[in-house]
Chains A and B, each alone.
Chain A
């Protein structure tokens, strides 16, 4: 092929869109400033404390319980949000009803509300003497000051993530795809399970991951409803703050390190799964 010009092998694909160097450089600088540098100080700080000290604090039984609680409640809340967030998104996209805009605005409220306010409100509702708690208490269901309460708070703050991730994808999903399924003889349940749900699954995944990530790091709303009993309802972020209040900066960093690594691993896995799926679809 004498007439073909050979292109220098490059780690980036040639593109007609200009400005890759500039925007990529800027993105990296920005990410470094906002994310990487603060996080690397975490690394440096915990590296300086020595392996044994790190394990002693980072993997103490109190810390392990806190991790389990934090990640467990965050996952539970993200699951609940995935189900009901999908439902809310479905209703907002598919139906016209009076007050739709109000409902849509309500969905975003957990974003804007100071989390402490949410925590106090939820505690007041679900405490054994509260509006809702007084009916649950005789049934033996305790919400406030238990992991259930924590989950409720995390559901509250995580809802918008799922709704806002799924909504545009659902709205984009062509009517013709559903009609095609109908002409081929599929009933509504089959159409949902085999055509609609797989199409919105990636967005649901993203919403789930975001809600989970938010839940793991949540502090403000949880500390009011959890009761903060060490070994029972003490979440990991609270444990960090507790360490800080005792001027045990190394301890706080160690716990933060562990949390960060686990969170990163989970989010990285979710992202990898997504990109495998995208590549498979050739889109």
Chain B
């Protein structure tokens, strides 16, 4: 079990983390989700031992590792820009962690080689062991970086924006592949992302961070359906904020007929476009300049631009004022 207790970190005068507490169960896949500057990468680097906290403790299985250097924590770390060793072949990159071990802990040369081949199979890059990183695509490089991190048989895998530098299609494939890999290996893993879709798709639990604090820890379902703060509601998924203080998801607003008497407000439609399986209707609330977005089932005809329609909320949330960021 990984336990993070009351971690505080400042960079000069800039407070990066305030009193972070977090517990991670063995085998969990955790996403640290937040905008840039939220402290998510700093927290990951502190857990890895690449950065040191000003206050607080990090425990691995009950042992305080706060003073243990990164090389002895036995964590696999995958860097955003891969950080591969360009002058080494792919196989040598993967074998690096084993080959720098002290002589008495170091496997025999043939064994290291075999282990590298095995990992190449795991990351589906068989036969590319003799290439250099410069000869691989971005997605392939990222998998080499992952294989290199796995080679040391880490007790914890940390990934910093692992798909950040890849294009959309590769990212999606790699995401699915990583989820399957995690299922097979059951290795406790933490990844940092600013992409809520990525976090919701991959993680067992999502840790939503903002301004160096944790806003919410929960399953993707909880974080999306029951956001703890206005920030979470707006950062995870889309949310309309109405003048009366209610926060409503676009798919939780329906267009109703004036005759039904359920209309809560009038919307002047500015724009309608297809968004995947739904119509996205954008408009301004009558009597204010508040912009409201609504998802309408694509099987139904959308309202015309310039039309005024009556709308009603199916489901809305309000947050205490202190939480309104």
List residues of chain A with CB under 8 Å of any chain B CB. 174, 176-177, 179-187, 190, 194-195, 198-199, 201, 280-283
Contacts and interface: CB of A to CB of B under 8 A. Distances in A.
Interface in B84-131: 84-88, 96-97, 100-101, 131
A198 B87 contact: yes
B50 A179 contact: yes
B70 A182 contact: yes
Contacts of A186: 71, 96-97, 100
Contact of B77 (A180, A199, A281): A180
B149 A183 contact: yes
Contacts of A185: 71-72, 97, 100-101, 152
Given A177-B84, A179-B83, A187-B100, 11 more contacts: A176-B81, A180-B79, A180-B85, A183-B48, A184-B71, A185-B100, A187-B71, A198-B85, A199-B85, A281-B134, A282-B131
Contacts of A283: 86, 134
Nearest to B74: A185
Interface in B237-253: none
Contacts of A176: 79-81, 83
B36 interface: no
Interface residues of B, number: 32
B65 to A, nearest CB: 13
Given A186-B96, A280-B132, A174 B81 contact: yes
Contacts of B75: 183
B103 to A, nearest CB: 12
A186 B85 CA distance: 13
Nearest to A278: B134
B119 to A, nearest CB: 13
A16 to B, nearest CB: 22
A174 B101 CA distance: 23
A180 B83 contact: yes
Contacts of B48: 183
A180 B84 CA distance: 8
Q: 7 nearest interchain CB pairs?
A: A184-B97, A282-B134, A282-B135, A176-B83, A180-B83, A183-B77, A186-B100
Contacts of B81: 174, 176
Contacts of A199: 85-87
Contacts of A281: 86-87, 132, 134
Q: Which of the listed residues A176, A183, A185, A198 has the most CB atoms from chain B within 10 Å of its own CB?
A: A183
Nearest to B154: A183
30 contacts: A176-B81, A176-B83, A179-B50, A179-B79, A180-B77, A180-B84, A181-B85, A181-B100, A182-B70, A182-B71, A183-B48, A183-B50, A183-B76, A183-B77, A183-B149, A184-B148, A184-B149, A185-B71, A185-B97, A185-B152, A186-B96, A186-B97, A187-B100, A190-B100, A198-B85, A198-B88, A281-B132, A282-B132, A282-B134, A282-B135
